[in-house]
Structure 1
Amino acid sequence: MARSMHENAEWKYRGEGNCSLVVADPETHQVYRLVKTYFTQAMETLYPLDSSEPCCDHIVIEMRKIVDYVTNVMQPLLSPKFVTPPVVAEISEGFAEEAEKRNQNMRPASRRKKSVDLVDARSRSALVMPDFCFVSKRDSIPVELEETQPTISIEIKPKKAFIPSPVAIDRTSIKHQVCKFCMHQRLKTKAGKWPETSHYCPLDLFSGNPHQMKHALLSLVKTPQNNLKICKNGQEIYGACVKQDLSVDLEDFFKGSQHKKHRYEYMLLDLVIKILLAPGGRGGNCSHTHSPRHTKPQRCQNSKFEHTNGDVSLSYLPHGCVLERICSIQKLDDLDIENIYPLYHRLQARLKDHPTDRIHWGLDGPYTRDLWMMGSEVKASVAVSSLEFAVEKVKRFLISKTVQDCSIIVALQPVKPGVSEENSIIHFNDAYYRYSIELVDLDPKPFDKIEQYYRQDMDIVHAYQETIGKSRTKSV
């Protein structure tokens, strides 16, 4: 249901992507996603140029598709414990431009130069959801705690959690030795997007080994890029562009702790790891997919983590924890882009002669459970050569791509000693913390973007092999 925005709020910059600018209302603890020109330009390819409906109507249609996708696909797969669908909200004329203007200085310089990064002034709608930098109100929270205790949130964009199976692609491929994120870093630094490659490796975070996970989080602290952001009371204190002294900012959060200030950063990471490994999150489970509980973790050759005896054998992700959920749904893609690409071309060839199949298959929505809820396996009765097989595998790939780009937001707030231990309360170092875990950035991926994914994959592998070749030449 559409709602009016709080027009007099002091809207704060919260972040942005290619398609949207996100601002937060510190009074109501809500965030609004305002669409950019990039979003509407991509959207207009779906609608005829002579359409009698105004652009703002099409924006609402596309926003509702996002809501449907999160509600009907992402939430059931990832668990309602971790996913809160957004709603469509009305905005008044001129509001988006004013919000953009007020927060212009907070935006990355690279986002201020391109016309596609401007908000689209024609839009009269935004996607609204709770501000997950504060503990989610799934449970009742005493007002006095909200007002007197600081809240720390850490946002992690974990990226792809696994290396492709040898069954999916050539056993000699470099993709079996090095994860996609680590290879992609070489391409990004080559293109000048980041001054140095990240020290982070997703396989370390998804290992289930607390020591290895801490190595991953410390690597993100060292090179956060757009994969790590820490906020205090909704205000960014650490990330790609803001690097305040965490020991100072965390002092009142860990008030009463016997540890020294320089230990606060490590305490926060240990606390976050404990939450990320909590079985079932807050007691939730998901039956749509199931990963073996003691599957041997994969290794990425680019990781700088040094294993000790017993590290690998003892490591696994507890069933139902947020990282296990993410990894399981990412693995709905069991073919890799190399094998998805030919299926995509088969479907495109079919659509040239039967364009209505695009609607029948729901490739651009509607995102209903009937069309988009994927089981853990394609039905045995479906022939590999059939169009049904191609459609389902492509959809599984697109779902996986969504989850590869999602973000985890963990919000934490101290509570008074003696509080009853609920699902959303965690005991750590003789103190208690109320917490929430939320998954965001769960928009559907366009079917036609598969062509771009394939080209990008080739560029990523080439860039990595090129840098490896140069390093070998230097060492000779």
Structure 2
Amino acid sequence: MLQWKTAEQAFRHILNIVDYSKYVMKPLLGDKYVHSGEVVKLPLDFVRQLSLKVQQERPELRCDKVMDTFSGCGLCLPNLTQLPLHHIRDHRPPICVEIKGGELIYSCQDDAKQQPDLKDLLQHLRPYFPHGNSLYNGHQSGKVILNEFIQVICSALLSGGDTNRSGEPRKVHLSESGLYCEASPFPRDLLRNGNHSLPKDSVLAKILQVQILDNLDIEGIYPLFKRVEQYLEEFPKERNRLQVDGPHTESFMDMVKNCPTEDDGSVEYAIGKVHQYRVAMTAKDCSIMITFAPCGEDDEEHQPNLEIQPTKPRFTYSVSILDLDPKPYEGIPHQFKLDTKIVNYYLRSTQTPPLSGLYNERQECMLLFHAV
């Protein structure tokens, strides 16, 4: 959360997030993946204590972020780290992982301590993959467990969920996974047949579908942003009609879906593409949370004397998409400037500078002549 001038502004901001999730992201990503939540009031003392605790745990790059500690407004979401109790007939607690920015964050509910290294992660995973511990009589068992853990995660990410639309957790059997490339979780047979599409209705396919709404990238969006800005300078009252600042309702969603495919020079096309870009950026910055637990009814007594266990574990799991805040309209110039800096730096680092510029960049260089 950000600091706002008044409590009313903070309240409207959170309501805007709820509307954006409900009317924009949920129709695009699917009801079973998106949870809109509700706005609640919290005791200020609790919020201040929470802010101090969170600030201490922030990575260095995010230390400039601060929570709203005076409005008392918060967004209440369901506890996505738990599964319905009637689906868990096992003494082992659920495991929750979050995928954000290409990184996986692991958490086990029976231990609030952060996992500092791979050894501790394996220690937590061993009870969930008991056959992996004895598959090689202890040799390379850690690698086997990690591979199976990754397969379970990939199965959840690639599952279409067509067989279960009631919101109930889905099940996956580890042996149901297809052939996997060592460098990629995607099935080899699909790649051989030239089919690079993700399974229909999988969470990855849903996210990708929203991400590709941005088909111009920031270089193409920025001129359209300038067109909108110029129009608003002449007609400032049109800002509400174009829904630059929201509200993010069905009409906003209509502008995203019904944007003209060809640039006719109109402000409607420009604002439509800008809105599509903002929605796509939300999908590019989202998090995926997967919670899974062993299916107790399929458990069999572990037999350590067997070299290879007869069955592999099944898991009940649920998948959710988080961090779906709307990206600010005013952030587009900053994004364009940042993108320009990145591109220029890349060009400077990969291209050989012209000879005429070598001396200018290295003033300390001297050319010495020695008699021979």
Which bracket does the TM-score occupy, shorter chain normalised?
0.7 to 0.9
The amino acid of 1:354's aligned partner reads F
> Does the 8 Å contact 1:275/1:281 carry over to 2?
no
Distance in 2 (alpha carbons) for counterparts of 1:66 and 1:345: 25
> Does the 8 Å contact 2:98/2:289 carry over to 1?
yes
Residues 151 and 310 (structure 1 numbering): CA distance in 2 closer, same or farther, change over 3 Å?
closer
Residue 142 of structure 1: which of 86, 98, 114 is its match?
Answer: 86
Distance in 1 (alpha carbons) for counterparts of 2:162 and 2:341: 37
TM-score (norm 2): 0.75
Q: What secondary structure sits across from 2:14 in the alignment?
A: helix
- For 2:179, the equivalent position in structure 1 comes to none
- For 2:159, the equivalent position in structure 1 comes to 278
Residue 397 of structure 1: which of 277, 295, 312 is its match?
Answer: 277
- For 1:80, the equivalent position in structure 2 comes to 31
Specify which structure has the bigger relative contact order, considering alpha-carbon pairs within 8 angstroms and separated by 6 or more residues. 2
> Does the 8 Å contact 1:78/1:329 carry over to 2?
yes
Distance in 2 (alpha carbons) for counterparts of 1:361 and 1:451: 19
Residues 36 and 244 (structure 1 numbering): CA distance in 2 closer, same or farther, change over 3 Å?
farther
The amino acid of 2:51's aligned partner reads E
Residues 269 and 236 (structure 1 numbering): CA distance in 2 closer, same or farther, change over 3 Å?
farther
CA deviation after TM superposition for structure 1 residue 104, in Å: 5.0
Distance in 2 (alpha carbons) for counterparts of 1:256 and 1:68: 46
Q: What secondary structure sits across from 1:150 in the alignment?
A: coil
The equivalences for 1:19-418 within 5 A come to 35-37=1-3, 40=4, 55-103=6-54, 105-112=56-63, 114=64, 117-135=65-83, 140-142=84-86, 145=89, 148-158=91-101, 227-233=103-109, 235=112, 237-238=114-115, 245-257=120-132, 258-259=134-135, 260-280=141-161, 283=164, 311=191, 313-373=194-254, 378-379=259-260, 384-418=264-298
- For 2:328, the equivalent position in structure 1 comes to 446
CA deviation after TM superposition for structure 1 residue 144, in Å: 6.2
> Does the 8 Å contact 1:247/1:265 carry over to 2?
yes
Distance in 2 (alpha carbons) for counterparts of 1:329 and 1:104: 32
Residues 118 and 469 (structure 1 numbering): CA distance in 2 closer, same or farther, change over 3 Å?
same
> Does the 8 Å contact 1:417/1:431 carry over to 2?
no
Q: What secondary structure sits across from 1:94 in the alignment?
A: helix
Distance in 1 (alpha carbons) for counterparts of 2:296 and 2:68: 46
Cα deviation code 1:373-399 (max 9, x no counterpart): 45666346x862111111111111110
Q: What secondary structure sits across from 2:97 in the alignment?
A: strand
CA deviation after TM superposition for structure 1 residue 265, in Å: 1.3
Distance in 2 (alpha carbons) for counterparts of 1:460 and 1:390: 25
Residues 143 and 318 (structure 1 numbering): CA distance in 2 closer, same or farther, change over 3 Å?
closer
Q: RMSD between aligned alpha carbons?
A: 3.1
CA deviation after TM superposition for structure 1 residue 73, in Å: 0.3
> Does the 8 Å contact 1:277/1:322 carry over to 2?
yes
CA deviation after TM superposition for structure 1 residue 411, in Å: 1.0
Distance in 1 (alpha carbons) for counterparts of 2:214 and 2:62: 32
Distance in 1 (alpha carbons) for counterparts of 2:312 and 2:189: 30
Residues 104 and 451 (structure 1 numbering): CA distance in 2 closer, same or farther, change over 3 Å?
closer
Distance in 1 (alpha carbons) for counterparts of 2:189 and 2:49: 57
For these two proteins, the number of residue pairs brought into alignment is 316
Distance in 1 (alpha carbons) for counterparts of 2:67 and 2:260: 44
Structure 1: tracts of 5 or more residues without a match: 1-34, 45-54, 159-219, 221-226, 286-303, 420-428, 471-476
Q: Which has the larger radius of gyration?
A: 2
The amino acid of 1:467's aligned partner reads S
Cα deviation code 1:61-99 (max 9, x no counterpart): 110000000000000100001101121111112221112
Q: Which moved more, 1:359-368 or 1:73-82?
A: 359-368
Residue 456 of structure 1: which of 338, 341, 345 is its match?
Answer: 338
Residues 369 and 282 (structure 1 numbering): CA distance in 2 closer, same or farther, change over 3 Å?
farther
Residues 236 and 243 (structure 1 numbering): CA distance in 2 closer, same or farther, change over 3 Å?
farther
> Does the 8 Å contact 2:87/2:316 carry over to 1?
no
CA deviation after TM superposition for structure 1 residue 155, in Å: 1.1
CA deviation after TM superposition for structure 1 residue 231, in Å: 1.0
Distance in 2 (alpha carbons) for counterparts of 1:282 and 1:236: 37
| The structure with more helix, counted as a fraction of residues | 2
- For 1:293, the equivalent position in structure 2 comes to none
CA deviation after TM superposition for structure 1 residue 280, in Å: 3.9
Structure 2: tracts of 5 or more residues without a match: 136-140, 167-182, 300-310, 353-372
Q: What secondary structure sits across from 1:417 in the alignment?
A: helix
